[in-house]
Amino acid sequence: MASNAKLKFPSLRKDDVCDRSRPLEGKHLDGIYKRISKVIRFLGSVGLEVYQPFILETLPEIATKLRQVWSHYESTDRQSELSYNEYFRIFLESLDAKVRELKVLCRHNKAEMYNSNSKPRVTLIRMSMTLSYLFKDFKVFFPSNEFSEHFRVTKQDASDWWSRNFGNRVLVPWHEFQFRFGSEHCISSFEEAQSLKRDIDITLNDYVSKFEFDVFTRLFMPWSNILNTWKMLAVKHPGYVNMTYEEVKKCLEELCDKPASFVFRRSCTKLGFWSIGFVSNSRKVNQTVIRDGKSIVEALVEGAEQRLYLYPRGMDPSAAPDLQFLLSCRAKEQIAVSAEEFEIYSNMDSSFELCKICSENNKDLKLEPCGHLLCRACFKDWSQKLNRHDKTSSCPFCRAEIRSTQNIEISPFQPMQVLSNPQPQAAASAKAATAAAKAETASETPAAAKDLIDLFDLPPPLPMRNSERTTGAAAASADPFGPLSMIDTQSNGFVATSAAETAATGSKQWESFGAYDLPKST
């Protein structure tokens, strides 16, 4: 929680919004709205460049969203519920503290704010980023103006860790998070802990939300090696910067005489994704967001091999740590095909491993957090189509947001090999060997056991039905695509058919499966 002691401006007084023992009233929010309006009026006269995140867009959006949430609860006489919602109170305290700080920054640096290279303008950019992160965090937990604690951490192992340590909580104090995190990953020093805090607590309020944790784990995956990956990229690598798009552009324009110079940063607008800026061979500055399923480590290593990313911030390549060993840490997730899945797809003259969009390549990529599987080539085509239409990255099957991807390797099911017509000589030899084995053990077999059926004579077991299967690895491997009729093969599988068409064709398509239950989407 942001407190007045933390601020650099001792003249700031404590507001009623910080007193959690008292219920919130409309007048408390009115005070925040007034301060936001004053900051907007002043900054509107400064002549700020339009860059992302743009504070003159972020502040009005925050005020609008806040009014909508309060009105939603007020219309159902549930203001007290919102008043004692821990997340909402901490958000208000953080917002109020940052708006007050902005107000003081503008008041005491009126002349310097007009200079785009002045220190107050740099501070303004940093505060713009922080407010943008705070707003995104707020929207995650109030998606429809109603508080929701059902946000899902993208990476399953990281999600399990959060649930084990914090249950359904969406926000925990930094000191508590640090203790739990340090029990899982060894933090070596106080300085390292402070650096880690700057990269996790991006809203700068001394709390870690479930959303902030999700962003961090997506950036520095895998969870099992997350601390080492963070150290190599954010601490030891000279190419890592905490800048906006415009700042990266200015930084690299000074290095245009040295092609293959590069920096990489966390995307300010697409949280959880990386952006790489580099000087091309034509001495132009390019910036790209990594969205093709690659990790930042894979992108940097491949870029170095292609001689695109050689000089981190113009330095010698030897100044950057070797990232090759980090590639081995991102092992492919193994998915085993069950007997039931094998039989279902065999009846359709297909296989679980085959991509259901192109029907040519095997699935090698899992979309997260929805869990649908497809091949990398189809994912690339789908992403390019979305980019051309400026649409949010979404799953081609369920349209859920794609926050990350995971490389996978599917282990095909190995059915029991039965020789229908064995060679007479081989069959006779096998029969003789079985008879000899029985004769050797007959004298040692208890009389009561001699009447039991020989296991060699039993037929192979039938695959279990969905209702009989247990949860776990087998259940997790179930095909998440659902009915194939959901995919429009005439348009390369990228457009889902209507619900009516799906209902009409789905029942006929699945009749051949007999008594077996259908696989359910994850």
Torsion-angle region of 493 (φ positive above 0: left; ψ -120 to 50: alpha; else: beta): left
Burial classification of residue 133, based on how many CB atoms lie within 10 Å of its CB (0-12 exposed, 13-18 middle, 19 or more buried): buried
Q: Is the pLDDT of residue 128 over 90?
A: yes
What pLDDT is stored for residue 448 in this prediction? 39
CA distance 222 to 217: 7
Alpha helices (H) along 109-173: 119-141, 156-166
What pLDDT is stored for residue 486 in this prediction? 40
CA distance 116 to 118: 6
Q: Which of 35-44, 80-89, 418-427 has the lowest mean pLDDT?
A: 418-427
Q: What is the mean pLDDT of residues 253-277?
A: 95
Start-to-end CA span in the chain (Å)? 36
Query: Percentage of residues in the chain with pLDDT exceeding 70?
Result: 74
Look at the block and give the residue holding tokens 């809203």: 203
pLDDT tens, 248-263? 999 999 999 999 999 9
Q: Report whether 171 contacts 209 (CB < 8 A).
A: yes
Q: Report whether 199 contacts 216 (CB < 8 A).
A: yes
CA distance 177 to 196: 11
The CATH architecture of the domain made up of 156-222 is Orthogonal Bundle (1.10)
What pLDDT is stored for residue 21 in this prediction? 66
Strand partners, 274: 266
pLDDT tens, 32-74? 999 999 999 999 888 787 777 889 999 999 999 999 999 999 9
Nearest to 341 by CA among 508, 465, 459, 461: 465
How does strand 171-173 pair with strand 207-209? antiparallel
Return the higher-pLDDT residue of 343 and 316. Answer: 316
What pLDDT is stored for residue 516 in this prediction? 37
Nearest to 308 by CA among 373, 263, 363: 263
DSSP-derived secondary structure for 285-352 = EEEEE--SS--HHHHHHHHHHTTSS-EETT--GGGSPP-HHHHTTSPPEEEEPPHHHHHHHHHTT--T
236-325, CATH topology level: SHC Adaptor Protein (3.30.505)
Residue spans of the domains in the chain: they are 4-141, 156-222, 236-325, 333-415+464-499
CA distance 286 to 128: 23
CA distance 75 to 513: 51
4-141, CATH topology level: Transcription Elongation Factor S-II; Chain A (1.20.930)
Burial classification of residue 134, based on how many CB atoms lie within 10 Å of its CB (0-12 exposed, 13-18 middle, 19 or more buried): buried
The CATH architecture of the domain made up of 333-415+464-499 is 2-Layer Sandwich (3.30)
Confidence band, pLDDT 50/70/90 cuts, at residue 416: low
Provide, for the chain, the percentages of residues in helix, strand and coil under a 3-state DSSP scheme, each rounded to the nearest 5.
50, 10, 40
Q: Is the pLDDT of residue 504 over 60?
A: no
Residue 514 has a CB neighbour count (10 Å cut-off) of 9
